[in-house]
Amino acid sequence: MPEHHCSLCHIGLEDVSVQRGGQTLLHDVSMHIHCGQLTALIGQNGAGKTTLIRALLGELPHGGSIRHVDDHGRDIPHLRTGYVPQHLHFDKEMPVTVEDFMAAAFTRRPVWTGVSKKTRQAVRDALATVEAADLAQRPLGRCSGGELQRVLLALALHPAPDLLVLDEPVSGVDQNGLNMFLDTVLRLKETHHMAILLVSHDLNLVRSYADHVVLLDKTVLAQGPAERVFGTEAFDAVFGQGKEAQ
């Protein structure tokens, strides 16, 4: 992936609310997601984290405003967004290599007609960005959880996004895979100065990697550096009195 510095300065959410089926899923959410920072979104199940992501991605109508702003305070009309889901659901017996899987997303040409030399090189370059070039010819079903997440990360980074959304991306991944994935993400944050939004239940991971933490329970209960948020009464109320990151 070529060198890229995002044109975004921050994403500003002001009084964002989402209602669906007569229920209030989010109300009065105000927060900023800055370029060059990893913002972690934490909260219990049902707190509205997925709803907030869907509103950010333009998949749900919402009240309030979500602005994509450059460093001159001007609105950016089109935000490049990459998304890494928690799991990839597929038939593990399917005879598809990592290269075939990625090539299908890189070109409109059916993979069964063959992968062009140009597409093959683009796939290998994308995998090299996340230190996974050696996975190109591996059957997708034989990749470990950590390897699959790096493949999905490579896809999310093509083309280079302004905002990278990581939705519980390392759930069930072993420690080695976790370290490799997050080290890659941090390197990309520094190199490309992109904004990263991480949704995670792993408080220890959040404490170690997040620049900014937002505690959500249908609205923002607390936000700031991890230690400040973890020390609030709101955090104790959500996760239990005296809860330590483990």
- pLDDT for res 64: 96
Q: Which amino acid is at 106?
A: F
Residue ranges of the chain with per-residue pLDDT less than 50: 1-4, 245-246
The answer to whether the CB of 176 falls within 8 A of the CB of 188 is no
Q: Please report the pLDDT score of residue 236 as a whole number.
A: 95
CATH number of this structure's domain 7-80+165-238: 3.40.50.300
Each residue's pLDDT tens digit, 194-206: 899 999 988 998 9
CB-count burial class (<10 Å; 0-12, 13-18, 19+) for 26 = buried
Give the pair of three-digit tokens for residue 164. Answer: 């990278």
Which of 69, 70, 49 has the alpha carbon at shortest distance from 60? 49
Domain boundaries, the chain: 7-80+165-238, 85-159
pLDDT at 109: 63
Question: Phi/psi at 103 (nearest 5 deg)?
Answer: -60, -35
For the four alpha carbons of 125, 129, 131 and 137, in that order, the dihedral sign comes to negative
Bond before 77 cis per omega within 30 degrees: no
